[in-house]
Structure 1
Amino acid sequence: MGKNRQIRDAVREMYAKAARSVEENEGGCCCCSSRKTANPASRDLYSEEEAALVPEKAMRASLGCGNPTALAELHQGETILDLGSGGGIDVLLSARRVGSSGKVYGLDMTDEMLSLARENQQRAGIENVEFLKGTMEEIPLPDNSVDVVISNCVINLSTDKDRVAGEIFRVLRPGGRLAVTDIVLYRELPASLQRSLELWAGCLVGALQVDDYRARLEAAGFTDFSITPVKVYKREDLLEYRDFFQSAGPGLDIEAFDGAVMSAFVRAVKPK
């Protein structure tokens, strides 16, 4: 089995396990409130008002590192695509922002997350939503079909980020916007860490450095791109993930990640 396939399988299993945990009332786990989320990185990203708009299971399944719906400036009537939509929290919040004249697609490759998301949609009573099975490397939507692409701590998980950027560019309409939160690196991590499937599935070693991220967006055709830090993870923050780091590899040094990892808001525009 190739390394890329191994990584994708590890990511799929981690998110399937997170969905099953939510269904079993254990909460989620992942990359680097409560507002009822079980993931430390997702704590306090959503307001009490936003939490009240979605089912509790959608909040507990939140595995992101930001709140793209609060930063994406969504408008009534727009069509939105959420990559790696998980339990559906950002899809459901986006659907309320675009209103009945808009549409929101959620794309996920994990059957367990899709099942949970559709359950949350039904509980929320929201109709202008459609959850699709697929990958962000092969988005099952036509060219020039959406106004905004959002995602929450997902693009770092791909092993082919150039293809992801190209697919996002393809499905966006001219003038469309990319507005995602993601894990981004300030500096390169030690090569020895790249072998850890757990660290890749945990949103760390697959992340791009800032300049590399910008270069890939530019190569895909985007303009007006920016990367704005949301939170830089220091040693004291990473200690909350001590159990995860220990499970990822014996003797793993948290110091290697101190100040190297940030959650960031990434914006870009497809030219008209």
Structure 2
Amino acid sequence: MQGYNETKDAVKEYYSKHLKTSDDLLTNACCTGAAPPDHIKAALKKIHPDVISKYYGCGLCLPEHIEGLSILDLGCGAGRDVYIASQLVGAQGRVVGVDMTPEQLDVANAHKLYHEEKFGFANVEFKLGFIERLGELGLPDASFDVIVSNCVINLSPDKEAVLSEAYRLLKPGGELYFSDVYSDRRVPKALQEDSVLWGECISGALYWNDFHNLAKKCGFLDPRLTKDSVITVNNKKLEGKLGCIKFYSATYRLFKLDGLESHCEDYGQAVIYKGTIPRCQDVFVLDSHHSIEKGKVFPVCGNMWWMLHDTRFKQHFDFLGSFDTHSGIYGGCGTLIPYACAQSGGTAGCRQLPSHLQISGSMHNAVAAALCIEAGARAGAMRVRDPRFDDVSGKLDMDGFGKSYSFLEEYREQELENLKGEQQKLDRLQKKGPKRADVVAAIAERKDEVKQEIRKRIQQDKSRRHMGVLLETERELKGQEREKVRTTGKTPFYHKKGLVRKIVLEKKKEAQGGGRNKDAERREKKVAGREKKRLPARRR
């Protein structure tokens, strides 16, 4: 497009003069999207056919849980989504639609009375204006809970102004929830100047990564994708102009939260969904990567914590943990540490150990060790890492780890107490002696289930504690070996799992007051002698 005003005029003319109904569109870019859910289908049945025929959106863009909220629709057109939202927010909410095309708003306003009679209340308002200049419409700052837009922002010549205005109008904790068209690369200027391609929601599409950066610049620090689909133009003439560029319909949610970080940081937090959001009783979907099942402990990053805690969703979740301990970026949710040495286990390369450094242990075959060399950036020093005794990514802070995830232990204990409480109630019911045979059988069956679940959880707890002792003992043995290697030059000795278990068993007996078992001491000496014989003479 040649300029800001020319772009607006071309779009206005295209949607007011050339398009009379959705059948006049030359591509399906503005009319893609999956079938709507049942409650939206029910809402659509109450909307006037003239309004439906003027719909040019590229996907449903109404989020969940908007009852009683204040909604703003950017580029509302003839008002289809406004009238759907009107039904969902109810009489206590309100919906404002903004569009720059008088012909479209004439259709929307012509049927206001029709919809008020259908819905039984009036909560809709339409304003003529530009979505880049919402300040001219008398809309005050922080006046909307949710802003929606359906395949319109790509038509704007100043997308940064649209996002900035949306951020200004949202209340703290509010969200911009919108569908639009995006490309897999930047659209060439020649295509941007094609008024038909622009009006068809094609050449005005943002390259997806440019959109992410623009959203962050405007204050939406963590854009969340909720759904997406491939757009097929299905017009041979226009396809020839587009070449290899691919286009997608995508729905994003952008929260106005000051505390968000640029990446998904791990603070050891979690949430439990209560299942109380209407139409999301079993699973709540925040975005395309996070589906939270009811009643389950769901680990979350710091940003996701704020998205649930400081928004309209707070009352529907229990929150576990705090921001006291930070553990880096989630590996599958953010950006991994960029340093090559960290990604390869603290090294920049691995080589085979020289023969005089090869180490044998208690295993029948010699253990192949690795010489991992890290070139110091300044000193040029060489550091040797034995993969059996040295941690791959630095020393594990067990105290910090335990503190971060201590809430899981508390949650398990609470579940066990709840099961024991239920068992006591069932015992009391049995003692009362209900007369109906089916009730007696049901109580007995449930009692067996609870009893088995309690036994299983107790055994799992014992196993976790035993595994903790094994790991701690193994760390102590490795620490002792490191110290001996450092102070005496001793060759490290590899401890088999069986030997670690024996040491743990002996510690347990000592703790019980039984002292060391002489038979165990003899077995240990015998095993140690046999192991020593297997070592080369120069290593004994």
> Are positions 1:268 and 2:254 aligned together?
yes
Give the whole-Å Cα distance in 2 for the aligned partners of 1:130 and 1:31.
31
Partner SS, residue 126 of structure 2: strand
Q: Which has the higher strand share?
A: 1
Give the whole-Å Cα distance in 1 for the aligned partners of 2:195 and 2:160.
20
- After superposition, the Cα gap between the structure-2 partners of 1:166 and 1:231, relative to the gap in structure 1 and judged at 3 Å, is same
In structure 2, give the amino acid aligned to 1:96: Q
Match of 1:189 in 2: 187
> Are positions 1:61 and 2:66 aligned together?
no
Q: TM-score of the superposition, structure 1-length normalised?
A: 0.83
In structure 2, give the amino acid aligned to 1:138: R
How much does 1:45 deviate? Answer: 5.0
In structure 1, give the amino acid aligned to 2:173: G
In structure 2, give the amino acid aligned to 1:41: T
Match of 1:10 in 2: 10
Whether the aligned pair in 2 keeps the contact of 1:79 and 1:146 (CA below 8 Å) is: yes
Match of 1:173 in 2: 171
How much does 1:242 deviate? Answer: 4.3
CA RMSD of aligned residues (A): 2.4
Partner SS, residue 264 of structure 1: strand
Whether the aligned pair in 2 keeps the contact of 1:77 and 1:99 (CA below 8 Å) is: yes
Give the whole-Å Cα distance in 2 for the aligned partners of 1:75 and 1:133.
24
How much does 1:255 deviate? Answer: 3.8
Whether the aligned pair in 1 keeps the contact of 2:2 and 2:193 (CA below 8 Å) is: no
Whether the aligned pair in 1 keeps the contact of 2:71 and 2:146 (CA below 8 Å) is: yes
Match of 1:115 in 2: 106
Give the whole-Å Cα distance in 2 for the aligned partners of 1:207 and 1:219.
18
Match of 1:103 in 2: 94
Match of 1:50 in 2: 43
Query: Where do 1:12-161 residues align within 5 Å?
Result: 12-17=12-17, 21-22=20-21, 27=23, 29=25, 32=28, 40-41=31-32, 44-45=35-36, 48-69=41-62, 72-125=63-116, 127-139=122-134, 140=137, 141-161=139-159
How much does 1:41 deviate? Answer: 2.9
Higher-RCO chain (CA-CA 8 Å, sequence separation at least 6)? 1
How much does 1:229 deviate? Answer: 4.3
Give the whole-Å Cα distance in 2 for the aligned partners of 1:207 and 1:223.
21
- After superposition, the Cα gap between the structure-2 partners of 1:115 and 1:18, relative to the gap in structure 1 and judged at 3 Å, is farther
| Deviation sequence 1:209-233 (CA, Å, 0-9, x none) | 1111111111111133123442112
- After superposition, the Cα gap between the structure-2 partners of 1:82 and 1:54, relative to the gap in structure 1 and judged at 3 Å, is same
Match of 1:36 in 2: none
Q: TM-score of the superposition, structure 2-length normalised?
A: 0.43
How many residues end up aligned between the 2 structures? 248
Match of 1:35 in 2: none
| Deviation sequence 1:42-73 (CA, Å, 0-9, x none) | 6845754232121111211110100112xx11
In structure 2, give the amino acid aligned to 1:266: Y
How much does 1:31 deviate? Answer: 6.1
Give the whole-Å Cα distance in 2 for the aligned partners of 1:144 and 1:218.
19
Give the whole-Å Cα distance in 2 for the aligned partners of 1:43 and 1:18.
26
Whether the aligned pair in 1 keeps the contact of 2:33 and 2:229 (CA below 8 Å) is: no
| Deviation sequence 1:155-206 (CA, Å, 0-9, x none) | 1111111111110000001111010000111222344312212211221111
Whether the aligned pair in 2 keeps the contact of 1:28 and 1:62 (CA below 8 Å) is: no
User: Which of the pair has more CA radius of gyration?
Assistant: 2
| Deviation sequence 1:56-111 (CA, Å, 0-9, x none) | 11211110100112xx1142210000000001010000011100000000000111
- After superposition, the Cα gap between the structure-2 partners of 1:219 and 1:197, relative to the gap in structure 1 and judged at 3 Å, is same
Match of 2:362 in 1: none
Quick one: percent identity of the two aligned structures? 33
- After superposition, the Cα gap between the structure-2 partners of 1:165 and 1:31, relative to the gap in structure 1 and judged at 3 Å, is farther
Give the whole-Å Cα distance in 1 for the aligned partners of 2:17 and 2:250.
26
Q: Which runs of 5+ in 2 are unaligned?
A: 259-540
Partner SS, residue 66 of structure 1: coil
Give the whole-Å Cα distance in 1 for the aligned partners of 2:90 and 2:26.
31
Q: Which runs of 5+ in 1 are unaligned?
A: 33-38, 247-251
In structure 1, give the amino acid aligned to 2:12: R
> Are positions 1:222 and 2:220 aligned together?
yes
